[in-house]
Amino acid sequence: MTPPLRHVTRRLACAAICLAPAAVSYAQNTSRQAPPVLDVHFHAMDDSGPTAVPMCPNTSRFTASDPATKEATNGWAQEECTPKLYPAAKGEYIKDVVADMERLNVTAVVFGTPESVRKWIDAAPGRVIPGTGFEAAGARVPLDQLRTSFAKDGFKVMGEIGLQYQGVSPSDMSVDQYFALAEELDIPVAIHMGTGGSGRSNVTRSTFRGSMGNPLLLEELLARHPKLRVQVMHAGYPMIDNMLTLLQANSHVYVDLAGLIWSYPLKEVNRYIERLVDGGFGDRVMFGTDQLVWPKLMAYSISIIQNADYLTPEQKRDILYNNAARFLRIDPKSAK
């Protein structure tokens, strides 16, 4: 999922602000009010942004548009809704989100530039698992710089990898060196696949290709790197058959529900999650929000899982925590 404000990127300049591995600890979560949640897909935004507007999650339909008119940048139908999610007041975004992370006992994999992620580590000590990708400000990050981030500076996940927005396959050889590095360092990779553009990729992202979100495009990459652990972000939505095919063919592949969980019609979202679980992959479905812009997005997204009447309490806990803990190799005892 990439709403308009999504990939806020700045050129990396790690040097003085790199993360010391010792700064990353997940053993400090002391909240006893809620069982722990792992959000594996969260963006290190500073603020909601000046152009952010209220949003209705799970709108019921996407609207057509006419190229002869001024076209909106997303296709979500204009509906009234409860709850409506609001951007944070200026300067309040991080504070508001951290308050909900504390209240809901959430630890998150936070993706962004090293500088932006560092800000979140400072704001939410013990609740941030740092992630960073190989693109920043529209350019590829030098391989040595990325190696330093993962080998020395404590970053744990390589992502978000948004090749689909450039119309590039994850198996394209032009990016193979990054995946080879991840395999060498035993770092999981998180790749955007499936969703994108909120119904208006044609208007906002001319290089986006739905076809490059096909989960089966990962097969060549996975064959080249048999030890690579892959998080298919957005669960390859809506290509369920191909997603299930890949999950059956490769036991190192997990999916996250981020973005799709709040940005498609609710009945369809639940049907998709149910297919993944009923297909036999309930231990590889991970919760995520795609947290950005709206501080209450996380609480809202968690409620979708909690209210899913087709999931057992054990399946809900697997999605909200256990599966991600296994994928990320987090000691379950480290979060209380």
What does DSSP assign to residue 331? -
Q: How far is CA 264 from the centre of its chain?
A: 16
Residue 312 CB, shortest distance to Zn ion, in Å, is 28
Stretch that binds Zn ion, among 48-56, 150-158, 230-238, 309-317 (CB under 5 A): 230-238
Helix/strand/coil (H/E/C) assignment for every residue in 250-278: CCCEEEECCCHHHHCCHHHHHHHHHHHHH
Contacts of 324 (CB under 8 A, 6+ apart): 38, 40, 109, 254, 286, 287, 330
Q: Residue 118, interface with Zn ion (CB under 5 A)?
A: no
- Of 7, 118, 192, 209, the one binding Zn ion (CB under 5 A) is 192
Residue 333 CB, shortest distance to Zn ion, in Å, is 31
**Window 231 to 270, contacts with Zn ion (CB under 5 A):** 233
User: Of the two residues 256 and 318, which places its CB atom closer to Zn ion in the complex?
Assistant: 256
Stretch that binds Zn ion, among 9-17, 116-124, 165-173, 226-234 (CB under 5 A): 226-234
Contacts of 228 (CB under 8 A, 6+ apart): 179, 182, 183, 189, 221, 222, 252
Q: Name the residue number minimizing CB distance to Zn ion.
A: 192
Stretch that binds Zn ion, among 68-76, 88-96, 188-196, 315-323 (CB under 5 A): 188-196
Q: How many Cα neighbours within 13 Å face the side chain of 110?
A: 31
User: Of the two residues 253 and 335, which places its CB atom closer to Zn ion in the complex?
Assistant: 253
Distance CA 242, CA 214 (A): 7
Residue among 201, 295, 232, 272 at smallest CA distance from 3 = 201
Residue among 32, 31, 28, 46 at smallest CA distance from 125 = 28
State the number of binding residues for Zn ion (CB under 5 A): 2
Residue 136 CB, shortest distance to Zn ion, in Å, is 16
User: Of the two residues 58 and 231, which places its CB atom closer to Zn ion in the complex?
Assistant: 231
User: Of the two residues 18 and 52, which places its CB atom closer to Zn ion in the complex?
Assistant: 52
Residue 27 CB, shortest distance to Zn ion, in Å, is 29
By CB under 5 A, name the binding residues for Zn ion: 192, 233
